[in-house]
């Protein structure tokens, strides 16, 4: 029997890549997206293969329609930005917390087999020790981190109270094709690549020595598939999904510049943004033991693929 999988936020960066992965695995795919941050162009080549429901996760009726008859729900829909949550914490809470609760209630009532939730390493905040591991205290430093932690707690409660199989994946710094470099809240990698291709000076927030764990989107997609079939021992739990490697923002920019020919102007430094943590990288042993997750795409290879995609999108030769 063909599985029906729902991807909330399926027109976004990770969601649209996940849609393709599920289609390749033989799933029937339904997308719920309000297109506030997602873009239909991300689904252009598979538009005829998916069912698209234009709706908001805050709209209970839209969520109920989306999950009806589905076996799996991959909940990617969110306002996925620390900076936006600082600017507008109320909307972040409404979408990321109330929206997640709508998805869980609808999934429970529709007898969905499993919900896989896109959480974030932002739940840890500024940790006392690194690398980040799932057993340490959660001290989110931004409304975004709080909202993701609240979502995790709701998943755990639905597993314990109603037996709904749920798994949360704490994404580190995900990058890859279809990540929008043009947004005011764009992540560092697409911004740096776009600026470098254009011969412009990128903006580095802070001194650039803050550390991150950059993971290519294909590895995140693999983690989602593994979570969708993981044994009961993993239900109600959260797992780090990264590479388990530490890189500074300055190192990242230097590597991008080494992969793009040309003269590169010095970066512009701006103050560190409120709510952003200083250092973050992950211990991924729990994901290996609980899900069988192991990153497979080397960091530089992921950068090359991302540069090729952004260059093709912007019509720049590399």
Pick the catalytic residue from 117, 124, 144, 154: 144
pLDDT of 185 higher than 90 = no
Is 287 part of any domain? Answer: no
Burial of residue 107 (number of CB atoms within 10 Å: 0-12, 13-18, 19+): buried
**The 3-state secondary structure of 40-106, one letter per residue:** HHHHHHHHHHEEEEECCCCCHHHHHHHHCCCCEEEECCCCCCHHHHHHCHHHHHHHHHHHHHHHHHH
Residues 183 and 37 in one domain: no
What pLDDT sits at residue 314?
Answer: 66
pLDDT grade for 122, boundaries at 50, 70 and 90: very high
CATH number of the domain enclosing 251: 3.90.25.10
Measured distance between the N- and C-terminal CA atoms of the chain, rounded to whole angstroms:
45
Place of tokens 């930005």: 81
Those residues with Cβ within 8 angstroms of residue 201's Cβ, 6 or more apart along the chain or in another chain: 195, 265, 266, 267, 268
Comparing C-alpha atoms, which of 11, 87, 85 is closest to residue 43?
Answer: 11
Is 116 part of any domain? Answer: yes
The pLDDT tens digits for 275-285 are 888 999 999 99
Residues 58 and 72 in one domain: yes
Is 104 part of any domain? Answer: yes
The pLDDT tens digits for 257-267 are 999 999 999 99
pTM for this prediction: 0.96
**Beta partners for 115?**
73, 166
Who wins on pLDDT, 219 or 274?
219
Q: Residue-wise over 209-247: b if at least 16 C-beta within 10 A, else e?
A: ebbbbbbbbbbbbbbbbbbbebeeebbbbbbbbbbbbbb
Is 161 part of any domain? Answer: yes
What pLDDT sits at residue 306?
Answer: 97
Residues 51 and 188 in one domain: no
- To the query of whether residue 144 is one of the catalytic residues in this protein, the response is yes
Residues 230 and 270 in one domain: no
């Amino acid at each position: 029997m063909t599985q029906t999988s729902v991807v909330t936020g399926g027109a976004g960066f990770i969601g649209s890549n996940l849609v393709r992965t599920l289609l390749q695995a033989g799933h029937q795919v339904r997308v719920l997206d309000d297109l506030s941050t997602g873009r239909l162009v991300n689904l252009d080549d598979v538009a005829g293969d998916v069912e698209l429901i234009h709706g908001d996760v805050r709209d209970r009726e839209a969520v109920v329609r989306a999950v009806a008859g589905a076996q799996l729900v991959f909940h990617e829909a969110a306002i996925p930005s620390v900076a936006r949550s600082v600017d507008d914490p109320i909307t972040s809470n409404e979408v990321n917390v109330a929206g997640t609760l709508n998805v869980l209630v609808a999934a429970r009532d529709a007898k969905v087999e499993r919900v896989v939730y896109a959480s974030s390493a932002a739940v840890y905040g500024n940790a006392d020790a690194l690398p980040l591991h799932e057993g340490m205290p959660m001290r989110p430093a931004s409304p975004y981190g709080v909202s993701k932690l609240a979502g995790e707690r709701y998943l755990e409660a639905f597993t314990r109270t109603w037996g709904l199989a749920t798994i949360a994946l704490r994404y580190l710094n995900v990058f890859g094709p279809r990540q929008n470099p043009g947004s005011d809240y764009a992540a560092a990698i697409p911004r740096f690549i776009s600026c470098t291709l254009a011969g412009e000076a990128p903006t580095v927030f802070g001194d650039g020595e803050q550390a991150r764990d950059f993971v290519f989107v294909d590895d995140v997609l693999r983690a989602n598939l593994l979570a969708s079939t993981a044994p009961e021992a993993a239900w109600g739990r959260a797992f780090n999904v990264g590479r388990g490697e530490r890189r500074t923002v300055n190192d990242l920019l230097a590597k991008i510049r080494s992969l793009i020919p040309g003269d590169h102007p010095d970066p512009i430094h701006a103050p560190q943004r409120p709510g952003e943590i200083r250092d973050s990288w992950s211990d991924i042993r729990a994901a290996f033991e609980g899900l069988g997750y192991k990153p497979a795409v080397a960091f530089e290879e992921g950068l090359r693929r991302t540069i090729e995609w952004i260059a093709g999108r912007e019509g720049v030769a590399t």
